[in-house]
Structure 1
Amino acid sequence: MASIIYGLCALTAMTCTWLLLSTYKKTGYRLLFWSGLCFAGLSINNILLIFDRIVFPTTVDLSTWRLVAALVALLPLLYGLIWEEE
């Protein structure tokens, strides 16, 4: 059951990435771009979670890489929220 939930979370994050970046391409609204980059990083984070918990449950610990991916994912959104003007 956990693998299904992890997979659905990854698919949801990838769908959000696609929707945000495609809407940014149409409208040019910069906050959509930063949000899309954030969700792209969160997609990577979810994929690393699948590898950490399902593929390599006992041999490899990817928790540090998952935390780094989450931090890097949030940095573009933080930048966009602070520095971007309308």
Structure 2
Amino acid sequence: MGELIYTLCMLTSLTCAALLFASYRRTRHRLLFWSAACFAVMTINNLLLILDKVVFPTEVDLMPWRLLTALAACLLLLYGLIYEKE
């Protein structure tokens, strides 16, 4: 059951990133770009979660990489919220 939830979370993040990038291409609002980049990195984070918990549950510990990608996603969105002016 966990595998299904992890996969759905990754697909949701990927869909959000794709929709945000498409909207950014139409409107050129910079905050949409930073939000899309955040969701793209969250997709990578969810992929690492699947690899860590499902594919390699005991062989490899991907927790540091998952934490780094989560931090990167948050920092991208934070940068977009603070430094982009409209």
TM interval, short-chain normalised: over 0.9
Could you give the per-residue CA deviations for residues 10-66 of structure 1, whole angstroms, max 9, x where no partner exists? 000000000000000001111100000000000000000000000000110000100
Instruction: Specify every segment of 5 or more residues in structure 1 that has no aligned partner in the other structure, as ranges.
Output: none
Point out 4+ residue stretches in structure 1 off by more than 6 angstroms: none
State the TM-score, normalizing by the size of structure 2: 0.98
- Give the total of aligned pairs: 86
Segments of structure 2 that go 5 or more residues without pairing to the other structure are none
Could you state the TM-score of these two structures normalised by the residue count of structure 1? Answer: 0.98
Structure 2: distance between partners of 1:36 and 1:13: 9
Taking only the aligned residue pairs, the percentage that are identical comes to 59
RMSD (Å) for aligned C-alpha atoms: 0.5
